[in-house]
Copies of this chain bind each other. A is one copy, B any other.
Amino acid sequence: MVRTKTLDDDLGAKINALKTSHIFRGLASGEIKELALSAASVRYPKGSYLFNDGDSAEFFYLAQEGLIKLHKESYSGKSVTFIIASLGDTLNASALSIKKHFLSAQAITDAKVLRIPQKAYWAFVSKHPTIAIEILSLTAQGLDTEYNRIVDLIGEEVELRVVHSLLALANKFGPNLMLKREELANYAGTTTETAIRVLSKLRKKGIINSAGRGAIAISNLANLQNYKR
């Protein structure tokens, strides 16, 4: 029966998708299957929002395709990007115990995610305490990252912050970043103009190439790593 077959394929795809996440790595396919059964694959067009800061968290999200920006706006309207999520990244793993999203999620390219109702997610984690530890580990790492970002924000000048942002992004996405200058600026916590000025300086030093609109190519990673002024 054709219909059954496609459904099975679908389930298999979901199981594989779940396995791309660190937090489910330790489990056997059989175990994951239970969770996959309540998962839905959903597409979001570029620019659209998956959820907003402050919304009640109804689903657990796992990125499958595209880039999703996790960000938040200040009272005065300035947007800060915390995470750019891609394949295998959870968008709100720690929302387990928290009722509200504390960031907004916006697709910056066309994107696809796996979406699981909180209740099913919670039940699954309760049944597999190992996963709770994985989530904790992930959340703690995130906390460490933010501590470092704050230290940077307070103690270092913008130039270095932009460099650090580039390094963090390159570490995750490789040396060819498909990001607008504005995205980089939001990530580094500065303005587009200032980010561009830093990039111009880096270009003159041969550390990056202008790779056209919406792209930044790091050509000399080593020099970026021990960058001084």
A2 an interface residue at 8 Å Cβ cutoff? no
A8 an interface residue at 8 Å Cβ cutoff? no
Docked pose: A97 CA to B149 CA in angstroms: 21
Which of these binds chain B: A105-113, A138-146, A197-205?
A138-146
- Which listed residue, B135, B144, B152, touches A136 by the CB 8 Å rule? B135
The answer to whether B189 touches A150 (Cβ under 8 A) is yes
- Which listed residue, B76, B95, B96, B150, touches A150 by the CB 8 Å rule? B150
The answer to whether B153 touches A150 (Cβ under 8 A) is yes
Give the residues from 54 to 70 in chain A that come closer than 8 angstroms, CB to CB, to chain B. Answer: none
A97 and B150 contact, Cβ closer than 8 Å, known pairs A78-B155, A143-B142, A155-B80: no
A74 an interface residue at 8 Å Cβ cutoff? yes
7 smallest CB-CB distances across A and B, nearest first, come from A74-B155, A129-B129, A78-B155, A97-B137, A94-B140, A146-B146, A154-B189
Min C-beta distance of A47 to chain B, whole Å: 22
Cβ contacts under 8 Å, A139 to chain B: 94, 136, 139-140, 143
A151 an interface residue at 8 Å Cβ cutoff? yes
27 interchain pairs, CB-CB under 8 A: A74-B155, A75-B156, A77-B155, A78-B155, A94-B136, A94-B139, A96-B136, A96-B137, A97-B137, A97-B140, A98-B137, A98-B141, A102-B143, A102-B144, A126-B129, A135-B136, A136-B136, A136-B139, A142-B143, A143-B146, A146-B146, A146-B147, A149-B150, A150-B150, A150-B189, A153-B154, A153-B189
Docked pose: A74 CA to B189 CA in angstroms: 17
**Copies of this chain, whole number:** 2
Cβ contacts under 8 Å, A126 to chain B: 129
Q: A77-B155, A80-B155, A139-B140 are in contact. List 12 more A-B contacts (CB 8 A).
A: A74-B151, A74-B156, A76-B156, A80-B150, A98-B141, A129-B132, A132-B133, A143-B143, A143-B146, A146-B146, A146-B147, A149-B150
Cβ contacts under 8 Å, A102 to chain B: 143-144, 147
Min C-beta distance of A99 to chain B, whole Å: 11
A208 an interface residue at 8 Å Cβ cutoff? no
